[in-house]
């Protein structure tokens, strides 16, 4: 009989075991509507994101810390099923740190060939971060929040 090496962590993760598939139809439509947008599959950046996420995931898992894709990384997954070609950073969010409303519950997804967490209420999260214009390509985007919008979440 096999049992999890960390039963407590395993049981805590059961509530977020729902899997959300990326909407490849939405991603294809975005690419077709934005043919001049930088290639989202820039292999050097994509490989760097994958390498960094893999290392981060390992460390967070060893420490028992739940994290999810945040900000532009989450937007890239939601809108393009990939990294965003113009973003050269990675965002991960943690519980017990200052975050934004809405309250986040986590689901699993696959992002650049890894299982990671994203907000189950991804659209609500994206619209809180970027507004209703999240579907539009933008070379430089300002987030919609400021320090007064931050609240304790978790």
On the question of pLDDT at 81 being above 90, the answer is yes
Find the range with the poorest average confidence among 4-18, 44-58, 71-85, 115-129.
4-18
Contact between 81 and 40 (Cβ < 8 Å): no
- 129 band by pLDDT with thresholds 50, 70 and 90: confident
Output the pLDDT for position 87.
Answer: 57
On the question of pLDDT at 150 being above 90, the answer is no
- Cis before residue 102, ω within 30 degrees of 0? yes
Phi, psi of 79 (to 5 degrees): -90, -35
Output the pLDDT for position 95.
Answer: 60
On the question of pLDDT at 124 being above 70, the answer is yes
Output the pLDDT for position 2.
Answer: 60
Sign of CA dihedral 116, 126, 80, 19: positive
Tally of CB atoms within 10 A around 61: 13
On the question of pLDDT at 8 being above 50, the answer is yes
On the question of pLDDT at 137 being above 50, the answer is yes
Judge if pTM exceeds 0.95: no
């Amino acid at each position: 009989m096999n049992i999890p090496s960390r039963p407590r962590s395993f049981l805590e993760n059961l509530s977020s075991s729902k899997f959300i598939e990326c909407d490849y139809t939405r991603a294809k439509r975005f690419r077709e509507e934005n043919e001049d947008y930088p290639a989202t599959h820039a292999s050097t950046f994509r490989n760097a994101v994958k390498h960094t996420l893999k290392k981060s995931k390992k460390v967070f898992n060893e420490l028992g810390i739940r994290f999810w894709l945040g900000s532009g990384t989450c937007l890239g997954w939601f809108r393009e099923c990939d990294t965003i070609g113009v973003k050269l950073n990675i965002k991960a969010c943690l519980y017990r740190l200052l975050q934004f409303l809405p309250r986040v519950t986590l689901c699993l997804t696959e992002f650049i060939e890894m299982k990671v967490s994203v907000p189950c209420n991804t659209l609500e999260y994206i619209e809180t971060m970027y507004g209703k214009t999240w579907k539009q390509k933008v070379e430089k985007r300002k987030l919609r929040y400021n320090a007064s919008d931050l609240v304790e979440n978790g």
